């Protein structure tokens, strides 16, 4: 087993929710690809697709998908119709064939495994891989949530650092994904407690407020511009 496979097993299987729960949380993101330039020729690229949970959702909803993951063990568990490839994410995006190939990108729980220079590189490569008007979705642990920041984030030893949603937006905008479509906290991932823990749960909400109650995931939906603005196009021509 490779080092990446070991991290994958630790990060995705030991501490993750059930596949059914993960798919229920991911389903709402499908709508962002329905009005984007996704087609059979320009599918949605699922970066770090793992066992193919989101690929299966794409397939069920008639949306073309393509998956990339470094773990052969994870890819072996996917038996759907979407094409997949075993590769490190950044290495795949750097291939010439990736440029302008995709109508959308889904990047769930990947960026927290990257140092800032790698994240900036990732956003540049995603912008390069998208067709104009293509949408990229980033999902990551929400550091505004105290439980995430003080506990659950650090259970995965391959995590490098958390990325707040405003920082994700800024880095994307600096690297070619300039339009913020949506973003914030995923309230479907807000902490839910069994009835017998409600008194403690309510007390924590009163004492800690939104920092305790907000969703455990943050997300940002960014879009590559459909075209160069006229003023920028003129500047480009003058520079020639």
pLDDT in tens, 39-88: 999 999 999 999 999 999 999 999 999 999 999 999 999 999 999 999 99
Indicate whether 181 belongs to any domain: yes
Do the domain assignments include residue 113? yes
The counts of H helices and E strands in the chain are: 12, 7
189 near 215, Cβ under 8 Å? Answer: yes
- For 85-108, b/e burial (b = at least 16 CB within 10 A) is eeeebeebbeeeebeebbbbbbbb
Q: What is the mean pLDDT of residues 80-104?
A: 95
SS3 45: strand
For the chain, how many structural domains are there in total? Answer: 1
The neighbour count for residue 38, using CB atoms within 10 Å, is 22
Residue 137 has pLDDT above 70, yes or no: yes
Question: What pLDDT is stored for residue 10 in this prediction?
Answer: 37
Q: Does residue 205 belong to any structural domain of this protein?
A: no
Tokens matching residue 161:
């650092």
Residue-wise pLDDT for 163-183, tens only, equals 999 999 999 999 999 999 999
CA dist., res. 188 & res. 216, Å (int): 9
Task: Tell the residue number behind the tokens 């299966």, with chain if given.
Answer: 56
Residue 196 lies in a domain: no
Checking 71-74 for CB contacts under 8 A at 24+ apart, the result is 71/2, 71/4, 71/5, 71/8, 72/5, 73/1, 73/5, 73/8, 73/9, 74/5, 74/8, 74/12, 74/49, 74/50
Domain-located, residue 202 = no
Q: For residue 206, is it within any domain?
A: no
205: DSSP letter: H
Identify the pLDDT of residue 177: 97
**Quick check: is 78 in a domain?**
yes
For residue 118, what are the contacts with CB-CB under 8 A and spacing of at least 6?
Answer: 90
Q: Which of 110, 220, 229, 102 is nearest to 172 (CA)?
A: 220
Residue range of the domain that includes 63: 3-190+216-239
Taking the CB of residue 183, how many other CB atoms lie within 10 A of it?
Answer: 18
Rounded to 5, what percent of the chain is helix, strand, coil?
50, 20, 30
Tell me the CATH number at 176: 3.40.50.150
Within a domain: 210: no
């Amino acid at each position: 087993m490779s080092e990446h496979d070991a991290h994958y097993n630790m990060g995705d299987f030991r501490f993750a929710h059930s596949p059914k729960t993960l798919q229920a949380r991911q389903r709402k993101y499908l709508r962002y690809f329905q009005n984007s330039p996704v087609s059979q020729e320009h599918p949605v690229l699922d970066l770090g697709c793992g066992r193919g949970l989101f690929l299966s959702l794409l397939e069920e909803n008639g949306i073309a998908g393509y998956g990339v993951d470094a773990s052969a063990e994870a890819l072996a568990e996917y038996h759907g119709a979407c094409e997949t490839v075993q590769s490190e994410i950044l290495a795949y995006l750097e291939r010439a064939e990736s440029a302008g190939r995709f109508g959308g990108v889904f990047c769930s729980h990947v960026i927290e495994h990257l140092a800032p220079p790698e994240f900036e590189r990732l956003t540049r490569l995603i912008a390069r891989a998208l067709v104009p008007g293509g949408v990229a979705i980033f999902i990551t642990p929400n550091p505004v949530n105290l439980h995430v920041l003080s506990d659950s984030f650090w259970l995965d030893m391959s995590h490098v650092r958390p990325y707040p949603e405003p920082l994700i937006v800024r880095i994307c905008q600096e690297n070619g994904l300039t339009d913020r479509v949506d973003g914030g906290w995923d309230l479907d991932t807000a902490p839910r407690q069994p009835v017998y823990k409600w008194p403690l749960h309510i007390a924590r909400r009163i004492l800690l407020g939104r920092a305790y109650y907000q969703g455990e995931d943050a997300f940002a939906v960014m879009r590559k511009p459909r075209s160069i603005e006229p003023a920028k196009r003129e500047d480009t021509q003058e520079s020639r």
